[in-house]
Homo-oligomer: A and B are copies of this chain.
């Protein structure tokens, strides 16, 4: 029986073409994060299950986790998100690290969900976090960073919007409502857009004694000076944000400001990514608490945004040139390739004994722009024909330097 060539459900194969786009996205994420002074870190994909049981959403851990028992009887989980890992890492070196500590990572994460547009079982996520800043400066910087990332890809003003809210304010109103389980109310609010009004009220009535304070704050008609000042501060940096009391974020660990970045395209008007302040996680490891603000930005929704807004540039094969041999000149052609590499070019060699037009077709299939023909005649005369596969134009070159210059034009 033949083996199946399909990847495991909900995961992707990245062929070179796909990988070029992924690298383009990830490299730019890295570049912007570094420009704000963030340094890259990484952690293991496998973590003890108990790390997530505490503060990640119940739904993710109980229904969507890839968790199992290892050969040594430890309960482990393939990370569904990165925040618990980075909190653990900071706690482990609480005293040795300098603050404000700015960290970013691009981990892949795993959730057992029904695969759909913008949602798969394996996905990547930029995580940026700032540790050790109690003041609102950290919240401001995090939203600035998110905004700068959007702009660095060429996203236009108006093509996305940033909505903010405060868990602290939400909680104050929830308490006035006599909510028994704040987490459950948060998760209900997080699903607000997906429920009918009737359904929302019905569910809310099950969770609280008096729904009115919650309905008041969700109406958006309540003015809060804290939100107002936060908006004004961001405005000073040219970042406009919208107050949206229904922004709750699914995770349990947020403690104050939360934000989400929305795609404003009417065909795809959805939250793309978000984050907020979570001051309580590091302290769970038995060390002094560290105030923290961060966000996570998934690759799938972001790629959809780039495509929908026509922001994916043409991405070329990294190979500058294929040397195509004519006849039995493998050794000589291979040496020539080595010399061109020394000059800084990316050069591959097709020394198979197929016909020349087959070789040209193969290079073209791979998206390489130039081929150079190398046979005994060419080597003797030190004259080589360089062909541009896009334009079809062919020119004769007589030195390595000329080849190098032509390709670096």
Contacts and interface: CB of A to CB of B under 8 A. Distances in A.
Contact of A100 (B4, B8, B9, B350): B350
A12 to B, nearest CB: 7
A92 interface: yes
A51 interface: yes
B362 A100 contact: yes
B365 A97 contact: yes
A322 B341 CA distance: 38
Interface in A7-60: 7-9, 11-16, 18-19, 22-23, 34-48, 50-51, 54
A341 B331 CA distance: 48
Contacts of A366: 39, 97-98, 101
A334 to B, nearest CB: 7
A346 B135 CA distance: 22
A110 to B, nearest CB: 8
A66 interface: yes
Contact of A70 (B36, B50, B97, B112): B112
A324 B119 CA distance: 41
A237 B48 contact: no
A351 B135 contact: yes
A132 interface: yes
A400 interface: no
B40 A16 contact: yes
A205 interface: no
B362 A98 contact: yes
6 contacts: A4-B50, A5-B88, A15-B89, A15-B93, A46-B66, A96-B365
Q: Which 6 A-B residue pairs are closest in the complex by CB-CB distance? A: A37-B348, A2-B286, A98-B365, A11-B44, A98-B362, A5-B92
Interface of A: 2-9, 11-16, 18-19, 22-23, 34-48, 50-51, 54, 66, 68, 70-72, 74, 76, 78, 88-89, 91-93, 96-103, 108, 110, 112, 121-122, 132-135, 137, 140-141, 144, 233, 236-237, 284-286, 317-319, 322, 330-331, 334-335, 338, 341, 345-353, 361-366
